[in-house]
Structure 1
Amino acid sequence: MSRTHRLFDLLQMLRRHRRPVSGAALAEEAGVSLRTLYRDIAALQAMGAEIDGEPGVGYVLKPGFLLPPLMFSAEEIEALALGLKWVAQRTDEGMGAAARDAMAKLAAVLPRDLGERMEDDALVIGPGWERPKSVALSLLRQALNAERKLALTYVDEAGAKSERVVWPVTLGFFETKRVLVAWCELRNAYRSFRADRMLAAEILADRSPRPRRQMMKEWRQTLLTKTVSKPSYRGATSTDVTRDREEVPMSKELIFYTNPQSRGYIVHWMLEEVGCPYTVRVLDFGTTMKAPDYLSINPMGKVPAIVHGDEVVTEAAAICAYLADAFPEAGLLPSPEHRGAYFRWLFFTAACLEPAVSNHSEGWDPSPEKQRGFGYGSYEMVLDTLAGALKGRRYIAGDRFSAADLYLASHLQWGMMVGMIERRPEFEAYCGPLASRPAAQRAEAEVKKLEAQKAWSAA
C-alpha cells in the first residue's frame, strides 16, 4: 500500500473514533509499526489536520478537516450498493426511488469497472417485509421532518382500537416491522407504534410542543444503560455472564440458568431473538445443578430455566412460549389467526418429537399394538407428520418466524446433526434459513465461548 493510501486510511480511522484512541490501537488496525504510526500522524498534522493528542496518551481528530477521497474501494462500492438496495426494497416508495436514483448517479460518475459493481447481483436483498397497506411510511417521515403532530387510528396486539394524537420522535426499521416512537397524548408517555397496526394517520396543523431533538434525548433517557463485566468461567461453581447492551430497558431482571452442553441453546437463541438483557448462570451436571439453591428453582435439577422478576419458568418449550408473550415487541408471537397452529406445533415438538426421538435413539420403539398407549404413536409417524406439515413451507405457523419455528428448528437441526433424526429434504430446507438468522448465530457463538471457557478451566 502506498503511503498516500495509508494516510487516507488513517484519517478514516480517526473519523470513526469520537473519543481519543491510542496509537497502539491505530497501529494495529492499520497494520503498521507504532513508529510508522507516529510519523503518519505527524504528516497529517503538517497537512493541516487538527489531530489532538500525543504518544502514550491517544489521538482524536477535530471535525472540519477534509481531504478529497482518492476513490471508493471495491468493498466500499459493494457496501453502498447493498445499503441502497435495502433502502429501495425495505422503505416507502419515495425513499426507494431516491435510493435507486442515488445508485444511478454513483454508477454514472464512477470508473467503468467500479460502476459495474454497483449493478452487480452478487449481493441481493431477500424478502422479509411488505409495505403497509393502510399508512405509508412516507407520511410518517413527513410528520417527522415537519415536526407536526400525528393523529393515529391504532390497533394493539389484543385487537383493541384507539384514537391517538402523537408527537413523532423517530422511525425504526427492523427486520420484519417498522416502528414509530412518539410521545402519546393519551398515555402521557413515550410509546412505540408498529406501522402495520396503524389503520389511518393524518398530519395535523399543530407542531409538536417540543423540538424533535429534545424529545429524542428525553426518550433515550428512559432507556437506562446497563454496563457489566464478564468474569471467567469458574469450573464447578456457577458463572454469571451478562449480554452487553448499549441501551436496554431495565425493568425486571432476567436470569438464565444453563449449561453449554444442554438444551439451553434453545433458550439462548430465544433470548437473542427477544433482545432483552439477561444474565447467564452456568451450572454443572451433578454439582451446582443439584445444589439446594438451584433445586428451589427447578426441583428436577435440570436446565434450562429462567427467573424473570418473580416468575420462574422451566422446560424449553414453556420458556419459549413465555418469552414470546412477555416481549411482544420481538414479534415472536404470531397473529391471532395463526395462534392455533403456533401452539399445536410448539407442543407437538415437546410432546411428540422429543420423546419419540429419545426413545428411538436408545433402540426402543413401541410395538404396533402398543402405539396407541403413547402420545406420539411411533417415531416414523412423528417424522412423517412433520415432513408433511413442513413441505413447501418457510414457517410452521403463518407467514413469519415465531417461537414455534425456533423450538422446532432447534430440535430438528440438532437431531440431524447427531444422527438421531433422519435427514429428510423437508427438514433440511426448513432448518437451513432459520439456522442462519443473526440471533441463532450469536447464540451459537456464546455457547461456544462457554464451552471453551469450561474446557480451559478443566485443563
Structure 2
Amino acid sequence: MPRTERLFELLQILRRHRGPVSGASLAQEMGISLRTLYRDIGALQALGAEIEGEPGVGYVLKPGFMLPPLMFSEEEIEALALGARWVARRTDDSLSRAAGEAMAKIAAVLPDDLRRRLDDASLLVGRGWERPQKVALSLLREAIRTERRLLIVYRDEKGARSERVVWPFLLGFFESTRVLAAWCELRRDFRHFRADRIETAMLEKDRYPRRRQALLKEWRQSLLTEFDNAVAYGQRPRLKERETAMTKELVFYTNPQSRGGIVHWMLEEVGAPYRIEVLEYGTTMKAPDYLAINPMGKVPAIRHGDAVVTECAAICAYLADAFPDAGLAPIPQERGAYYRWLFFAAGPMEAAFSNHAVGWDPDPDRQRMFGYGTYELVIETLANHLKGRKYVAGDRFTAADVYLGSHIGWGMQFGTVPKRPEFEAYWNGLKDRPAHRRSEEQTRKLMAKEAWA
C-alpha cells in the first residue's frame, strides 16, 4: 500500500475511536510494524493532525482535522447508496428528499466508474410494513432537534386516549413501526410512544429543562436497570430484544369460521403487525405446505420468525411473552392465577364444553377418568370464581381473558354455556374492547370475501 494511502487509512481508523487506542492495536489493524506506525503518526502530526499520545500509552485524534479521504471505496459507495434508498422509503418526505440531495452532491464529485456504482440497483430496499400516521415525523424530529416540549394526544393499545406533555429525545425507525422515546411529565418517567398512535402533536414554545444527550444517556441506562410500569413485564426488555420481536414476520394461519377468532383478537390486543393466511377446510388446510406448519391440519397457528406455535392457549401465552409492552401477562411472580385459569380453560373447560355440546357426558362411574369430572362441576367452579370479578386473573386484563372470554361468549351465543349472571357480567366487560371489535370486523370481511370467492 502506498504511504499516502496508508496515512489516510490511519486517519480514518483514529476517527472511529473516541478514546485512546494503543499503537500495537493500530499497527495490527493496518498490518504494519509498530516502528512504521510511529513514523506515520509523526508524519501526520507534522501535517497538522492533532494526535495526542505517546508510544506505550495510546493515541487519540482530536476533532477538527478535516483532511478528506482520497476517494470512497466500492463497498463504501454501495453502503451509502443502500442507506440513502432505505431513508427514501422508510422515513418522512423531508428526510427522503434530503437523502436524494445528499447522494446528488456525492455523485457530483465521483469519477465515472464509481458514479455508475452509485446508480447500480443491485441492492434493493423492499417495501416495508407501514401504518398510517396522523402526525408528521418531521414534527417529531424538529422537537428532538430543538429540545422542545411536545403536547400530544396519544391512543394506547386498548384505545384509551390521554393528553400529555413529553420531552422527546429519540425517534426509532424499526422495520415495522416508528417509536418516539421521551420523558413523560404525566408519568414522571421514560415512555415509548408508537408514532402511528399519536393522534395530535403541537410544539410548545419553551425548551425542556434537560439536555437531550443527558436524557438519552439516562434512558439507555434505564433499559438495563428499570422495571416497566404495571402494564408490562417485571423486567424491562432491552431495546434490541424489543426491536427483534417487532421486526420478525408474524403470520397468522386461520379460517374465519374457526377457533382462529381467539387468536385474531389476541393479535389485535398485541398491536404488532401480522399477515393473515386464510386456509380452507379439506384443501389448503391439509396441503403439504401447511402440514409442515401443523401436522394436525387444523387452524389456528402462527409463525413468528422461525418459531411456530399451534393451539389457541399456547399462542395466546406466546404472544403475551413475545410482546410484553402490550401488558397481557402479569409479572412472573404474580402468574399463579393467570396460569391456573388459562390452562383450566384450555383443558377441563374446553373438553367439558365440547363433549356436552355433542350430547355426551361421562357416566358417574367413569367421571374419575376425565380431568373435568362433570360439565356441571366445571360450570359451577367457573361461575363461583367469576362472580364479582371483572377479570379472571387479578385486577387487569390478560391473555387468559382473551381465551376464557372467547369460550364463554361463544358458548352463550350457541347454547353450550348457560346464560348465568356471572358469565353475562364477565363477557359484557370484555366484548366491547376495541381490539375485540376490530378482530370481529376483520373476521366479517374475511367471511364475506370467502363467500364471494
TM-score relative to the length of structure 1: 0.52
Q: CA deviation at 1:155?
A: 1.9
- Label 1:388 to 1:47 Cα distance change in 2 as closer, same or farther (>3 A): closer
2:88 maps to: 88
Q: Which amino acid aligns with 2:77?
A: I
2:57 maps to: 57
Would you say the 8 A contact 1:143–1:168 is kept in 2? yes
Report percent identity of matched pairs: 60
2:306 maps to: 406
Deviation digits for residues 61-88 of structure 1, max 9, x if unmatched?
A: 2222232321222222111111111111
- Label 1:140 to 1:340 Cα distance change in 2 as closer, same or farther (>3 A): farther
Would you say the 8 A contact 1:23–1:55 is kept in 2? yes
- Any gaps of 5 or more consecutive residues in structure 1? 227-249, 255-270, 277-323, 347-376, 390-395, 410-459
Q: Distance in 1 between matches of 2:48 and 2:290?
A: 71
Larger Rg: 1 or 2? 2
Q: Distance in 2 between matches of 1:166 and 1:32?
A: 52
Alignment of 1:28-427 (within 5 A): 28-130=28-130, 132-224=132-224, 252=235, 274=242, 340=260, 343=263, 381=286, 383=288, 385-386=290-291, 404-408=304-308
Q: Which amino acid aligns with 1:53?
A: G
Deviation digits for residues 22-74 of structure 1, max 9, x if unmatched?
A: 22211221122222222212222222222222333222222222323212222
Which consecutive aligned stretches of 4+ in structure 1 deviate over 6 angstroms post-superposition?
329-335
Which secondary structure does the structure 1 equivalent of 2:19 belong to? coil
- Label 1:386 to 1:164 Cα distance change in 2 as closer, same or farther (>3 A): farther
- Label 1:403 to 1:180 Cα distance change in 2 as closer, same or farther (>3 A): farther
Q: CA deviation at 1:387?
A: 7.2
Q: Distance in 2 between matches of 1:384 and 1:19?
A: 54
Q: CA deviation at 1:179?
A: 1.0
Q: Which amino acid aligns with 1:99?
A: A
- Label 1:382 to 1:343 Cα distance change in 2 as closer, same or farther (>3 A): farther
Q: Which amino acid aligns with 2:307?
A: Y
Would you say the 8 A contact 2:128–2:176 is kept in 1? yes
Q: Distance in 2 between matches of 1:177 and 1:32?
A: 46
Q: Distance in 2 between matches of 1:187 and 1:152?
A: 14
Q: Distance in 1 between matches of 2:292 and 2:223?
A: 44
Q: CA deviation at 1:147?
A: 2.6
1:8 maps to: 8
Would you say the 8 A contact 1:149–1:168 is kept in 2? yes
- Label 1:251 to 1:58 Cα distance change in 2 as closer, same or farther (>3 A): farther
Q: Distance in 2 between matches of 1:67 and 1:60?
A: 16
Would you say the 8 A contact 2:248–2:304 is kept in 1? no
1:427 maps to: none
- Any gaps of 5 or more consecutive residues in structure 2? 227-232, 267-281, 295-299, 310-453
Q: Distance in 2 between matches of 1:384 and 1:68?
A: 55
1:18 maps to: 18
Q: Distance in 1 between matches of 2:31 and 2:137?
A: 44
Would you say the 8 A contact 1:22–1:58 is kept in 2? yes
Would you say the 8 A contact 1:152–1:200 is kept in 2? yes
Would you say the 8 A contact 1:92–1:131 is kept in 2? no
Deviation digits for residues 287-307 of structure 1, max 9, x if unmatched?
A: xxxxxxxxxxxxxxxxxxxxx
1:299 maps to: none
Deviation digits for residues 156-207 of structure 1, max 9, x if unmatched?
A: 2233222222121221222222111112122121111111222222223343
Would you say the 8 A contact 2:143–2:149 is kept in 1? yes
Q: Which amino acid aligns with 1:32?
A: I
1:264 maps to: none
Would you say the 8 A contact 2:49–2:65 is kept in 1? yes
Q: Distance in 1 between matches of 2:3 and 2:34?
A: 15
Q: CA deviation at 1:8?
A: 0.3
Q: Distance in 1 between matches of 2:206 and 2:251?
A: 37
Q: Which amino acid aligns with 1:20?
A: P
Which secondary structure does the structure 1 equivalent of 2:308 belong to? helix
Would you say the 8 A contact 2:131–2:177 is kept in 1? no
Q: Which amino acid aligns with 1:114?
A: L
Q: Distance in 1 between matches of 2:114 and 2:225?
A: 42
Q: Distance in 2 between matches of 1:207 and 1:132?
A: 29
Q: Which amino acid aligns with 1:193?
A: F
- Label 1:342 to 1:141 Cα distance change in 2 as closer, same or farther (>3 A): farther
Q: CA deviation at 1:14?
A: 0.8
Q: Give the number of aligned pairs.
A: 280
Q: Which amino acid aligns with 1:408?
A: V
Q: Distance in 1 between matches of 2:41 and 2:57?
A: 13
2:436 maps to: none
Q: Distance in 1 between matches of 2:250 and 2:165?
A: 27
Q: Which amino acid aligns with 2:4?
A: T
Q: Which amino acid aligns with 2:96?
A: G
Q: Distance in 2 between matches of 1:36 and 1:225?
A: 46
